[in-house]
């Protein structure tokens, strides 16, 4: 079968693709930027890659007509302030195009919307569901609440809070009930729904067997990690204060934190679980989902992360836009060193950031990340998805990877921190020499003032870094 997969570089899409290929399907992957698409067998004859902007009706026409089914996995909760309007536009263009194809089914992953009072985020998901259902192509909607899996936004926020706060003074929404579901079960429902006539024109709630409060979820995570944690709930924390609490403690952006806080006040509990019997799926418990996620992290086998799928900070448009590092009207710190062992140096470069750190002056990098958070930036807490692998589009603390080629020994990072300008960090090995360059393109007088104010630190930070990388 020929299956259309939207959001192929997203958290769910990256994990669904290999499952579809394993079943022998030909998969047409819709992405906004081909440079961000990574798959070990990218040249597989069963993968077709097309660049599609679902806000552009002409771009949507690239979707072929001879498809058998389509997955709609497009969400923009952490994007623009009017993301709900953009989601409706995207869904409308998608529906109109799919209606003109041979597709027998649309499968949409939504949120549980059983509460009478919905957040903006959940209302948007429901609106998209209605748009898709009003087309001529049969639609299957799977409504999930909290998804538990290595790299999921919910899981990473829980992990951050439990690891960093032995005692938590928390807002009252921690008493809200939810029904978490393991990422493995979400994928199982998505696969088993495919071209199943029993699922056509139906909406199903999917969830695990446990109904828990967010407080219980945090405490069970602490128990799984053998950590003693104390949680005290206070009624005085406003939504804005709650958003700042999540923003400064966890790796989430402020926009995403605000959207999550709004949604976390709404109960997300399944009302109709007949799909479990219909598809013969028995979802695992929350504790088992936690165990599986923690094993993946320990094994450095996280398949996808919400941080990598999110376009944030100053990063706009395609990766290719940032590949050409400017030279004109820029300040550049250039350094080079002979390397002792090429493989060792490449291994160090490909492990940079995250838990490894930046090899020199880590406390200064952390301080810069903290300052960035204060000014509304992404900060340095995002870390990295894999400890040893890097691909274009990945997050690396407050950088975004725009180019990564191990064979060439070349890595280019673009800064997503708040800056009065734009910044790049490059590493390139040529003729047994490592070339390192930090480039800053200032924006006006404040950009120049910024560069000269941090210039005294560059002398030992970048010198220390290249010395460690080549030793």
Q: Domain coordinates of the chain in residue numbers?
A: 2-301, 319-470
- The pairing of strands 399-405 and 410-415 is antiparallel
Gap between the Cα atoms of 110 and 129, Å rounded = 7
3-state secondary structure of 141: strand
Neighbours of 62 (CB within 10 A): 14
Gap between the Cα atoms of 100 and 95, Å rounded = 9
Instruction: Name the DSSP letter for residue 285.
Output: P
Q: Which of 102-116, 192-206, 231-245 has the lowest mean pLDDT?
A: 231-245
187 confidence band (pLDDT: 50, 70, 90): very high
- 198 exposed, middle or buried (CB, 10 Å; 0-12, 13-18, 19+)? exposed
What pLDDT was estimated at residue 285?
Answer: 96
Question: Higher model confidence: residue 323 or residue 334?
Answer: 334
Contact 120, 262 (CB under 8 A): yes
Of all residues in the chain, the percent with pLDDT exceeding 70 is 95
Q: Which residues pair with 2 in a beta bridge?
A: 26
313 confidence band (pLDDT: 50, 70, 90): very low
Give me the helices (H) in 301-404, please: 306-309, 342-349, 362-374
Contact 182, 208 (CB under 8 A): yes
What pLDDT was estimated at residue 302?
Answer: 85
Query: Average pLDDT of the chain?
Result: 88
Chain length of the chain: 471
CATH 3.10.180.10 fits 2-301, yes or no: no
Across 116-143, average pLDDT:
85
What pLDDT was estimated at residue 76?
Answer: 65
Gap between the Cα atoms of 72 and 7, Å rounded = 7
213 has pLDDT over 90 = yes
Indicate the CATH number of 319-470 among 3.30.43.10, 3.30.530.20, 3.40.50.2000, 3.30.70.980: 3.30.530.20
What pLDDT was estimated at residue 1?
Answer: 92
117 has pLDDT over 90 = no
What pLDDT was estimated at residue 452?
Answer: 93
Structure tokens at 73: 């996995």
364 has pLDDT over 90 = no
User: How confident is the model over 241-251, as pLDDT tens digits?
Assistant: 777 777 788 87
437 has pLDDT over 90 = yes
Residue whose tokens read 């000269």: 452
Structure tokens at 72: 């709609």
Q: What does R_g of the chain's alpha carbons equal in angstroms?
A: 23
Residue whose tokens read 């002409």: 58
Question: Higher model confidence: residue 161 or residue 381?
Answer: 161
User: How confident is the model over 53-81, as pLDDT tens digits?
Assistant: 888 889 999 999 999 999 999 876 555 66
Structure tokens at 201: 């024109």
Between the alpha carbon of residue 247 and those of residues 379, 394, 399, the distances in Å are: 10, 20, 18
């Amino acid at each position: 079968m020929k299956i259309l997969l939207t959001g192929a570089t997203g958290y769910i899409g990256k994990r669904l693709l290999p499952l579809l290929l394993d079943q022998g399907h030909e998969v047409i992957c819709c992405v906004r930027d081909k440079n961000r698409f990574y798959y070990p067998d990218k040249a597989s004859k069963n993968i077709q890659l097309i660049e599609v902007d679902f806000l552009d009706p002409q771009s949507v026409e690239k979707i072929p007509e001879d498809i058998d089914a389509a997955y709609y996995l497009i969400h923009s909760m952490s994007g623009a302030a009017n993301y709900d309007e953009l989601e409706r536009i995207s869904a409308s263009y998608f529906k109109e195009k799919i209606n003109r194809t041979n597709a027998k089914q649309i499968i949409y992953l939504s949120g549980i919307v059983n509460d009478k009072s919905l957040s903006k985020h959940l209302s948007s998901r429901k609106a998209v569901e209605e748009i898709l259902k009003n087309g001529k192509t049969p639609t299957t909607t799977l409504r999930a609440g909290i998804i538990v899996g290595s790299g999921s936004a919910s899981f990473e926020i829980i992990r951050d809070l439990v690891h960093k706060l032995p005692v938590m003074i928390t807002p009252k929404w921690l008493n809200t009930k939810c029904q978490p579901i393991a990422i493995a079960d979400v994928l199982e429902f998505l696969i088993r729904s495919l071209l199943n006539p029993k699922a056509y024109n139906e909406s199903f709630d999917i969830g695990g067997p446990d109904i828990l409060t967010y407080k219980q979820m945090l405490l069970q995570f602490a128990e799984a990690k053998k950590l003693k944690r104390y949680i005290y709930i206070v009624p005085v924390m406003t939504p804005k204060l709650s958003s700042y609490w999540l923003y400064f403690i966890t790796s989430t952006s402020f926009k995403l934190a605000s959207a999550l806080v709004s949604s976390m006040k709404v109960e997300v509990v399944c009302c109709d679980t007949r799909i479990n019997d219909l598809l013969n799926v028995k979802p695992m418990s929350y504790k088992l989902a936690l165990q599986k996620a923690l094993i993946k992290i320990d094994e450095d086998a996280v398949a996808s992360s919400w941080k990598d799928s999110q376009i944030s900070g100053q990063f706009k448009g395609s990766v290719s836009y940032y590949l050409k590092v400017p030279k004109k009207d820029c300040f550049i710190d250039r350094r080079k060193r002979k390397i002792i062992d090429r493989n060792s140096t490449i291994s160090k470069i490909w492990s940079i950031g995250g838990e490894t750190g930046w090899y020199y002056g880590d406390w200064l990098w952390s301080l810069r990340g903290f300052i960035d958070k204060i000014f509304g930036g992404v900060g340095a807490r995002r870390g990295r998805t894999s400890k040893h692998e890097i691909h274009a589009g990945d997050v690396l603390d407050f950088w975004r990877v725009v180019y990564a080629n191990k064979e060439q020994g070349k890595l280019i990072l673009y800064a997503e921190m708040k800056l009065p300008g734009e910044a790049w960090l490059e590493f390139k090995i040529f003729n047994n020499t490592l070339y390192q360059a930090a480039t800053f393109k200032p924006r006006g007088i404040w950009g120049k003032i910024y560069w000269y104010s941090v210039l005294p630190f560059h002398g030992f930070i970048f010198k220390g870094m290249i010395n460690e990388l080549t030793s």
